[in-house]
Structure 1
Amino acid sequence: MTTTTATTGRASARRIVGCGARGGTGAVYDPLTGLTHRTDQPLSTGRIALAHEGIASLPEVHPAELGDVTPVSVCWSPIVRCNLACPHCLDDKSVPELGRSERAEVAARIASSGVLGVDVSGGEPLLIRNLPTLLDALVDGGCAVSVTTNGTHLPRRAEALARRIDAIRVSLDGPDPEHHDHWRGEGSFAAAVSGIRAAIAHGIPTQIQTVLMRSTASGLPALVELADRLGVHGLTVLQYLPFGEGAPLAITEQVSDEDARHLVAALGAAPIPVRLRTRADAAGFTVVRADGQVWRNTPDTTGIAALRPLTGSVSLAVTGRDGSA
């Protein structure tokens, strides 16, 4: 994970993280960034508040290096439907969605599995009417919870989310309507920016995420400036993964990890934290699909290494970055 940081007034706030032990080591999961940190200091298990700068000062660690069979965190995509049609979407739109009661069962299983954090994604999770109920189940289970969204429905849902989640991650593919709307549709940039402002106004720690593509790489400096003006906590640059709807674009749009590191390093001392999630960082990442099946990224992040029904913590068990049980 390549990082460029700067100190701002945003660093003084306290935020909720998920804490616990993994392989005899203290682990801290940050729902804002999705990063796992290692700590030698004794911390209570579950959801605790830490200073933003204190979280960032902890050494980062790939979850697989902690040597525990239970993942530190999972991404749960309870919905494949979306109000946008992005050609680079990671979701497989052919996956069937569970019904309301079955979704509640999945939330309960994740909450009791022992994971420290959950990122609720999609599809577009803000389209789920009873999303607050699902989020409450995860929080009540002791998980640090974030939501990843395209931001278009945030203005109307930010207030309810602010009482339930610990962070919001909003996807942007460019620093202005011309570049962002090219990928996500007319009006989507303005709606996403309004959503970001609503989230910040309601006190939700907010992160912008952008998928790095050859077509968008030149816009990174301007996107950093926009993120700073909006007042978010940081920007995460995600390496393109050849999954789901976006698999056909991988040949023309993927940037090598080496080139991605150079692009982020060229930003210099950015006014906000900028983080790069390389493909290596995404190895072994665990996802619970909309149909309740669990899958995990392969070591080279070109495919899925495991697919099984989520029946409890045992079905999430993993022994290494290869996704083996």
Structure 2
Amino acid sequence: MAVILDLVEKLSATAEGDTITLPITTPGQAALAASWCQRTGNTLITADATSITVRRGRPPDPITDLPPARRPGARLWLYTNFDCNLACDYCCARSSPQTARRALGVDRVKEIAKAAPAAGVLEILLTGGEPFILPDLDQIVTACTAALPTTLLTNGMLFRGHRLQILQAMPRDRLTLQISLDSATPDLHDSHRGKGTWTKAVAGIRTALGEGFTVRVAATLTTDGQHEERELRSFLDSLGITRENQVVRPLAHQGAADEGVELTVQTLIPEVTITADGVYWHPVGADNAEQLVTRDIFPLDAAIELIREQYRSHRNTADSAARAFPCA
């Protein structure tokens, strides 16, 4: 009971939201402190073999501080496959023509889509790899759009022959096609994605617009220059892509990329991502074992809640550390 007496004494002299750290000698003391915190409305932040850190009071829920559309689980990413017709040198999933497919499969996508609305999902996003490699992509898209608004990511280069027919068979309502284009002229785009890919991607954008789809264009900028971004946006304006459908993001140091922004579980707001291997923290980390949260996709609501709880824990720990180390 000594640890409880110490907690009562120390916390009574502590402001709401501040933390204290106490030494412990047995695992039982940590369990006792956790139980006491649960009963008294305080928060056990960390516990190890030698100490516990406790916050006075309950922290605010970091999830409710986020806009509803950005809360963990609001957007559900599905890696339909990992193989691709391209081998971009900064691909976060290391996709290429030689990469194993690792497909989710139609049946599993249907099960996920059916469970998604009840789990609090507001939008499904399909990515890869290159989804248009899959012969049953139209069935996957139909299942997802029947459940929720859906975004399909593609490099836009395969819209011909049978794959054009698959595109034409897709619903226009509740479906957005997101096509990758990294620059306003071919040189920069092609230097990362392959010679001739810029021309094919632009043709794909025009085809998708001509077929009546809502088109979003996403660019990965490998330079810090604002000039390149301005030129790109101006070019997208000329294609008829609205500003709200122009996504410009920095290069992430993930997968095949040798440089870029460092993104970790601790620094990323999670966007629940499902692959054939399990549930990941974020789509940029779906090739990163450190971002694997669980191999159990189902029940879907439990997998999403697990990520939410981990996010709360990360944020509360970070906030407590910030309060415990004031700069003045």
Q: TM class by shorter-chain length?
A: 0.5 to 0.7
Q: Please report how far the alpha carbon of residue 165 of structure 1 lies from its aligned counterpart in structure 2 after TM superposition.
A: 5.2
Q: Do 1:135 and 1:165's aligned partners in 2 also have CA atoms closer than 8 Å?
A: no
Aligned length: 234
Amino acid at match of 2:114: A
CA distance in 1, matches of 2:312, 2:215: 30
Paired residue for 1:107?
A: 110
Change (3 A) 1:107 1:83: same
Equivalent residues in 2 for 1:2-151 (5 A)? 38=68, 62-64=70-72, 71-93=73-95, 97-98=102-103, 102-114=105-117, 115-140=121-146, 142-151=147-156
- In structure 2, distance between residues paired with 1:306 and 1:315: 8
- For 1:150, give the aligned amino acid: N
Cα separation, partners in 2 of 1:321 and 1:172, compared to 1, 3 Å: farther
Contact preservation (8 Å) 2:106, 2:136: no
Give the equivalent residue in structure 1 for 2:252.
241
* Partner in structure 1 of residue 304 of structure 2: 316
Counterpart for residue 285 of structure 1: 271
Is 2:124–2:149's contact at 8 Å kept on the other side of the alignment?
yes
Query: 2:325 maps to what in 1?
Result: none
Over 3 Å counting, the alpha-carbon distance change for 1:161 and 1:282 in structure 2 is farther
Bigger proportion of residues as strand: 1
Q: Residue 132 of structure 2 aligns to a residue in which SS?
A: helix
Kept after mapping to 1: 8 A contact 2:75/2:124: yes
Secondary structure at the counterpart of residue 202 of structure 2: helix
- Unaligned ranges ≥5, structure 2: 1-60, 315-328
Letter in 2 for 1:76: L
Rounded Cα–Cα distance in structure 1 between residues aligned with 2:241 and 2:159: 15
Report if aligned partners of 2:126, 2:153 keep a CA contact under 8 Å in 1: yes
Q: Secondary structure at the match of 1:310?
A: coil
| 1:202 corresponds to | 211
CA distance 1:323–1:211, change in 2 (3 Å): farther
Asked which structure has the greater CA Rg, the reply is 2
Deviation at 1:121, TM superposition (A): 0.6
SS at match of 1:210: strand
Q: Distance in 1 between matches of 2:201 and 2:127?
A: 16
Give yes or no for contact 2:294–2:303 (8 Å, CA) kept in 1: no
Residue 33 (structure 1) aligns with: none
Q: What amino acid sits opposite 2:198 in the alignment?
A: F
Q: CA RMSD in A?
A: 3.5
CA contact 1:284–1:323 (8 Å) conserved in 2:
no
2:184 alignment counterpart: 175
The verdict on how the C-alpha distance between 1:103 and 1:162 changes in structure 2, with shifts beyond 3 A counting, is closer
Contact 1:74–1:117, Cα closer than 8 Å, also in 2: yes
Aligned in 2, Cα 1:311/1:92: closer, same or farther, shift over 3 Å? farther
Q: Distance in 1 between matches of 2:101 and 2:205?
A: 30
Does the C-alpha gap of structure 1 residues 165 and 87 become closer, same or farther in structure 2, counting only changes over 3 Å?
farther
State the structure with bigger RCO (CA 8 A, min sep 6), 1 or 2. 1
Q: Distance in 1 between matches of 2:93 and 2:216?
A: 21
Aligned to 1:9: none
Amino acid in the other structure paired with 2:134: I
CA distance in 2, matches of 1:202, 1:173: 23
Return the alpha-carbon distance in structure 1 between the equivalents of residues 84 and 226 of structure 2. Answer: 25
Say which SS state the counterpart of residue 83 (structure 1) adopts: coil
Cα distance, 1:322 vs structure 2:
2.6
In structure 2, what residue type is equivalent to 1:244? G
SS at match of 2:170: helix
Q: Secondary structure at the match of 1:227?
A: helix
**What is the Cα deviation at residue 166 of structure 1?**
1.5
Q: TM-score, normalised by structure 1?
A: 0.62
Checking the alignment, whether the CA contact within 8 Å between 1:207 and 1:236 is kept in structure 2 is yes
Give the drift of 1:187.
Answer: 1.1
Shift of 1:205: 1.2
SS in 1 for 2:125: strand
Provide the identity percentage.
20
